Structure 1
């Protein structure tokens, strides 16, 4: 069974030192797990008994293409009107607890490892009918439609249904669990799970057009972000601007795994801010 780190909130003691690994730069940000306290949560309209840690949002000098929430729904909570923007697509990834999803009139039982793609305009509701909190990631993006290409449809699956695909020439030290076909240009974002075995690495400074959001689900690593090497562990979040160089070395004793967002499969807008 895979481990998925989930924040539980709380508040640090008054005796804790203020120095931490939190960092915000022009091309990357690190939000360490210790930041996920009770005082930085948000309430959302039409969500009952629910709080959200908002860890990415479209903002000048920060994320440009997506928003990402870590959601916590208490027993009896949920929403019948979860998404306010009909142009927004989304991904839900459950890390803890259980919930009932009604998606386009079909009912699905969600558990840790459940993955849901929500097409723009999809009709959905989510309730926690259990006696324990439901916790999940919610990634939202404005869908970029393309003439002549039908938009993707909503679906529900589970991580166990998707075997990790090793990267070439890595002997399985670096692998990716893909939930959609990367060649399907109907999709304009991918949300995957990347796994490094202890000692595995990205052996070069990746520099590319895709914006990234990385939430560490398990393990630890030393990650290169632009010119800096930072230590990251389960529960940390990283944002990487397009073209920010990245590389990593995975530590032990367990695999290093993260939930990865990236924007894909679209022409570049030629007007800044369009």
Structure 2
């Protein structure tokens, strides 16, 4: 299904009559993985996950984006995992786009639904299960946590978009806003997973060029996005993967809102 707020219609296989032309591209500074690429034949099965498949849409690559991996997970009824994370260094950020499930963390159950967010710190013990009668689909960002001497590990967070404030960017009259699931002033966290919302006609009015890597998954609407030297038309279900310092901007032409899930690495010195 396609939720009006969160695109989730991945899978299937194109017919033999479909043309091969596509906006899929991989360049030195960015990649675009359109929703048409996320078919059944590019899924992965994962150890210790039952009744589950994953679209691994980014992973650390030397000389490209090096800090994170991002999956679209689909867990069928009765599926899940009691050993979901194989790497004790990895923290997790999860955002649900369809269905219902439960994360058990530190002995407590946390129910999930479309719009739910979870952050699980590195080394945290958690399990996942789908006890509902329909599949659940969610984004799972994995990042090797950068430990800082004298700084404690961040706590787990379980919340929902409806419980979070959408902060407008200055001088935009509310047309460009960000929903932050993690406190941006809390330096204990070394990544953020936000939702960015543009009203029709809103823009990023300059070429952002910065150290943060990005994964941008379009949840709703369409826009044209400037990636390095190219303007690319994107729509709900498309994924943009950006290395550090890739120039970027956006024009949301409408007719409806344009929203995407945004990963970025934050709050740490670069490794030398």
| TM-score normalised according to structure 1 size | 0.97
Structure 1 residues 194-230: Cα deviation after superposition (integer angstroms, max 9, x where no partner): 0000110100000111011100000000000000000
Residue of structure 2 in register with 1:64 after alignment: 66
Give the superposition deviation at 1:104.
0.9
Residue of structure 2 in register with 1:182 after alignment: 184
Residue of structure 1 in register with 2:43 after alignment: 41
Residue of structure 2 in register with 1:83 after alignment: 85
Residue of structure 2 in register with 1:25 after alignment: 27
Say how many residue pairs are matched: 270
> CA separation in 1, counterparts of 2:152 and 2:62?
31
Aligned-CA RMSD value? 1.0
SS across alignment from 1:34: helix
Q: Identify which of 96, 99, 102 aligns with 2:101.
A: 99
> CA separation in 1, counterparts of 2:157 and 2:248?
31
SS across alignment from 2:139: strand
Give the superposition deviation at 1:61.
4.0
Structure 1 residues 224-255: Cα deviation after superposition (integer angstroms, max 9, x where no partner): 00000000000000011111100010121221
Give the superposition deviation at 1:2.
5.7
Task: Answer whether contact 1:225 1:245 (CA < 8 A) is retained.
Answer: yes
Q: Identify which of 150, 170, 173 aligns with 2:172.
A: 170
Task: Answer whether contact 1:190 1:263 (CA < 8 A) is retained.
Answer: yes
Mapped pair 1:122 → 2:124: yes
Matches within 5 A, 1:234-273: 234-270=236-272
Query: Which 5+ residue runs of structure 1 have no aligned equivalent?
Result: none
> CA separation in 2, counterparts of 1:157 and 1:2?
20
